[in-house]
Amino acid sequence: MSKGSRRKRATRPWQNPSALRDVSDLVTTSRFDDDLELPGYAVRQIDGASAAKEYTCPDCGNVIAEGEAHVVVWPVGDSDLRRHWHRHCWRMEVRRSDGAAS
Ligand SMILES: [Zn+2]
């Protein structure tokens, strides 16, 4: 079992304010929401500044680093089942589910 124990704590590009501004410009001016919605699920987007701790993504099993923008997802009405996902992992899950459901 690989647990991905090699964590890079020294260099975090999102802690560089100018780099962060560049990235968030890209993110916020492009499509932000619509491809992250999945019927039956509540999706909350967490920006980097609000991501105060590390989480483990249930899809890829890798760490979502402190300070990394990601999404929190739970079945509507069952917030006990909240999970933190990488944005790209959740987006792929949405696409998979869209295809499977119809
Ligand atoms: Zn992931």
Domain boundaries, the chain: 48-102
**How many angstroms does the Cα of residue 65 sit away from the middle of ligand 1?**
11
Distance 79 CA to ligand 1 centre (A): 20
Q: How far is the CA of 10 from the centre of ligand 1 (A)?
A: 21
**Model pTM above 0.95:** no
CA 4 from chain center: how many Å?
Answer: 18
For residue 90, pLDDT beyond 60: yes
The rounded Å distance from CA 42 to ligand 1 centre is: 18
Contacts of 39 (CB under 8 A, 6+ apart): 101
Contact 78, 97 (CB under 8 A): no
Q: What is the pLDDT of residues 47-70, one digit of tens each?
A: 999 999 999 999 999 999 999 999
Q: How far is the CA of 55 from the centre of ligand 1 (A)?
A: 10
